[in-house]
Amino acid sequence: MHLADIKPRHFLWQMEGEVAVIRLNRPERKNPLTFDSYAELRDTFRDLVYAEDVKAVVFASHGGNFCSGGDVHEIIAPLVERDMKGLLEFTRMTGDLVKAMIQCTKPVISAVDGICVGAGAIIAMASDIRFATPQASTAFLFTRVGLAGCDMGACAMLPRLIGQGRAADLLYSGRSMSAEEGYQWGFYNRLVDAEALEAEALAYATRLAKGPTFAHGITKTQLNQEWSMSLEQAIEAEAQAQAICMQTRDFERAYRAFAAKQKPVFEGD
């Protein structure tokens, strides 16, 4: 499957070499999500598993903001009128976006500027790598609209990123985490000036795209699967995973390049 030429209706998509750049496209509203954009993003990340032409993904900001969460008028207002079956249909769909991001086998780098709240904070959390500007303001603000902090996997994933106590603070209070806090706590990998943010995220993604991409997919799979494994199970799973990678041509290419004192050129097979 090739995704380079897809034309999504509910977000922007462009290819930079072998890196897909995604950005929400409602900058006048700080890029909220709608029912349609949730579903289309979910389906796109599901398709990325099979996309041979996409080696990495940058989820970028737009108009100085990343994402303001679910649209108040287009999501929250209709949800008030739904019955339990309809509500569960929605919450499962939003969780499916996170699962699709985790399972897509491609490294996902979020480039966060400005507002990154609600489901936007979840998208950043579900990414593999997070860059942010000093102006980034991140909040898991579900309690501020009368909901629990346990949304789209936050209670499972956020403590693993920043620690249980810090995650509890953000999920109970709904307060904003500053960019500096996020960086010091390990939520953000790097702080970058706004004018350089997307270029730096794209350069990082491009370096990954030029690496052993089959092996990157194995790394992503193991990072996520080993959450629920004992140490002994994890060591055995990694032994099997590495043996699989040793059968790739990229492994042979790396050896031959090393022997010839050259830089390996990986092709992902």
Encode pLDDT of 158-188 as tens digits: 999 999 999 999 999 999 999 999 999 999 9
HSE of 226, CA atoms in CB hemisphere, 13 A: 17
pLDDT at residue 7, rounded to an integer: 85
Residue 91's alpha-carbon distances to 8, 79, 95, 200, 251, in angstroms, are: 22, 10, 6, 33, 42
Q: For the whole model, what pTM was predicted?
A: 0.95
pLDDT at residue 72, rounded to an integer: 81
- 106 with 54: CB under 8 angstroms? yes
pLDDT > 80? residue 4: no
How would residue 215 be classed by pLDDT, with cut points 50, 70 and 90?
very high
Chain-centre distance of CA 2, in angstroms?
Answer: 20
pLDDT at residue 40, rounded to an integer: 97
Chain-centre distance of CA 107, in angstroms?
Answer: 8
Give the residues across from 67 on adjacent strands: 116
- 21-26, long-range: CB < 8 A, 24+ apart: 21/57, 21/58, 21/60, 21/198, 21/202, 22/57, 22/58, 22/59, 22/60, 23/59, 23/60, 23/61, 23/62, 24/62, 24/66, 24/67, 25/62
How would residue 71 be classed by pLDDT, with cut points 50, 70 and 90?
confident
Cα maximum dimension of the chain: 67
Tokens of 211: 């690496």
pLDDT at residue 77, rounded to an integer: 86
Residue 50's alpha-carbon distances to 93, 105, 106, 147, 155, in angstroms, are: 21, 9, 10, 36, 29
pLDDT > 90? residue 234: yes
pLDDT > 70? residue 1: no
- How many residues in total does the chain contain? 269
pLDDT digits (tens, 9 = 90+) for 73-106: 888 888 889 999 999 999 999 999 999 999 999 9
pLDDT > 90? residue 6: no
